[in-house]
Amino acid sequence: MVKILNNSYTVESQTLDSVFSYWQRDGNSIPWRCLFVLPGWLNAWWKCFGQNFDLYLLSIGHKDRTIGIAPLQKKDDTVRLIGDKSVCDNLDFIVAPEKASVFFQQLIKYLQKDGIKRLELEPVRSDSLVFTRLLPVADEIGCKISYECNDMSFELALPESWDAYLDMLTGKERHEIRRKLRRLNEAGRVTYRLVEESDSVQKEMEKFFMLFGSNRPDKAVFMTDKMNAFFRYLAETLTEARILKLFFLELEGKAIAAVMCFDYQSTLYLYNNGYDNRFSSLSVGVLSKVLSIKKSIQSGKRTYDFLKGSEDYKQRLGGQPVQLYRCLVELT
């Protein structure tokens, strides 16, 4: 359904399939900067967790050109970005940067006319379109805005070589990484294997689930049947998009640790990991992450994103903090 906002702007309700088709189309006019609102991710989340919400997926156009997409879900008179902070490390709108201000002006106008009273947006990065463009527009229009930093993410600007990366670390941490890698290699034949082909990913995901739940009880509790289905569906869709990178650290041919990563644009994202607790003395948990950093450097990535959470290892491995916010816009 298309609604005219004024003589030149339109808003149109979309389906997840139509947004997916638009994303696949060559020459689409808007960049998907945020990994967690890619159509495959939206589909996976909605299929597994969207039962209690109404889809409120909108596109805004100007003179036959789409200038932005609002991936929203609705409950009563409140809308939120599709997703949630338990599985989506940050969220955002999908907008042509040069059209961001007018996109948010038109979006707010439409939401007000449609009886929406609140926009609740989390988690969003400090450099997101929500924080840098939506909030100023909403404030200028006269909406009441508020925000609070409620979490932290960490990311690492990658150098051109592994040795340069090690030189970035403190002397103590550099020594520890080399010592731990040496001890691991002394324990037997070590391989670090990448799985990324669709015909093997689903089978290898079984190993990932086993390792995911084996080292911490809280991870086993986290991986409910619904969460398991989400991970499987996400792995399937992002494998098709050539984004999933599943790494296994193996000792004498046996998988002892795994990291689930996403390779998108110039960044490798560390999404989740697990390891066999029987090999904890060999530091296989942290080494499986260290080796994924090495792989990202070798493949020419510019950024390694540790994602949400303030675990100590992220800073020790060179991660720099990025604040995450919860933002509220009162539209009435």
- What is residue 247's predicted lDDT score, i.e. its pLDDT? 98
Q: Which of 68, 51, 50, 48 is nearest to 59 (CA)?
A: 68
In the chain, which segments carry CATH 3.40.630.30?
A: 2-147+325-330, 159-301
User: Which carries the bigger pLDDT value, residue 102 or residue 198?
Assistant: 102
How large is the angle between the packed helices 198-212 and 225-240, nearest 10 degrees?
150
- What is residue 2's predicted lDDT score, i.e. its pLDDT? 53
Average pLDDT value for the chain: 94
pLDDT per position as a tens digit, 106-120: 999 999 999 999 999
pLDDT per position as a tens digit, 205-262: 999 999 998 877 777 788 899 999 999 999 999 999 999 999 999 999 999 999 999 9
Low-confidence winner among 173-177, 192-196, 221-225, 309-313 (lowest mean pLDDT): 221-225
Confidence of residue 196 (pLDDT cuts 50, 70, 90): very high
Q: What is the spatial distance between Cα 219 and Cα 272, in angstroms, rounded to a whole number? A: 10
Whether pLDDT at 61 is above 90: yes
CATH topology of domain 2-147+325-330: Aminopeptidase (3.40.630)
CB crowding 247-269: b at 16 or more within 10 Å, else e: bbbbbeeebbbbbbbbbbeebbb
- What is residue 158's predicted lDDT score, i.e. its pLDDT? 98
- What is residue 4's predicted lDDT score, i.e. its pLDDT? 57
Whether pLDDT at 53 is above 60: yes
Which numeric CATH code is attached to 159-301?
3.40.630.30
Number of CB atoms found within 10 A of residue 46's CB: 18
Q: What is the spatial distance between Cα 166 and Cα 158, in angstroms, rounded to a whole number? A: 11
